[in-house]
Homo-oligomer: A and B are copies of this chain.
Amino acid sequence: MAMLDGTCREVLEQTEFVAIVTNAASGPHLVATWGDYVRQLGWEGDRLLIPVGMLRQTEANLARDSRIQLLVASRKAEGTRGPGQGCLIEGKGTIITSGEEADRAKATFPWARGALVVVVEKVTAQL
């Protein structure tokens, strides 16, 4: 089963926003994108796409350390401990500005300069 199936899929389908964390030389760098942006580009297998407008610092961070973490959560998803579930998604990230996936991001979002490709390696229930 792909890692983004199951509980995490339900949370991804509901989350209002997605927290994005990368590792800067000075420490953690935290930004976010809207859940519906991610849903519009979608995910397939363990590959998830996020449209990229700015994200210049995230891009610089990924160039030095490709590890990336995403956090999604929704009160509407059925949780392991009652209503509401979160999901920590860990993997490797790359920002691409050309190729089919980047073109799809640019066609979907006129402000996008490319796509952040997250190759998911681990998913952990949260909250």
Which chain A residues have a beta carbon within 8 Å of chain B's beta carbons? 16-17, 19, 21-23, 27-34, 65, 67, 69, 71, 73-75, 84, 86, 88, 126-127
Contacts and interface: CB of A to CB of B under 8 A. Distances in A.
Can you tell how many copies of this chain the complex includes? Answer: 2
B19 A19 contact: yes
A126 B23 CA distance: 18
Contact of A16 (B27, B30, B69, B73): B73
A27 B33 CA distance: 21
Query: Which of A32, A84, A86 has the most B CB atoms < 10 Å from its CB?
Result: A32
A32 B126 contact: yes
A31 B72 CA distance: 10
Given A23-B27, A28-B28, A17 B69 contact: no
A67 to B, nearest CB: 6
29 contacts: A16-B73, A16-B74, A17-B71, A17-B86, A17-B127, A19-B19, A19-B21, A19-B32, A21-B21, A21-B30, A22-B28, A23-B27, A23-B28, A27-B28, A27-B65, A28-B28, A28-B30, A28-B69, A30-B69, A30-B71, A30-B88, A32-B71, A32-B73, A32-B86, A32-B127, A33-B127, A34-B75, A34-B84, A34-B127
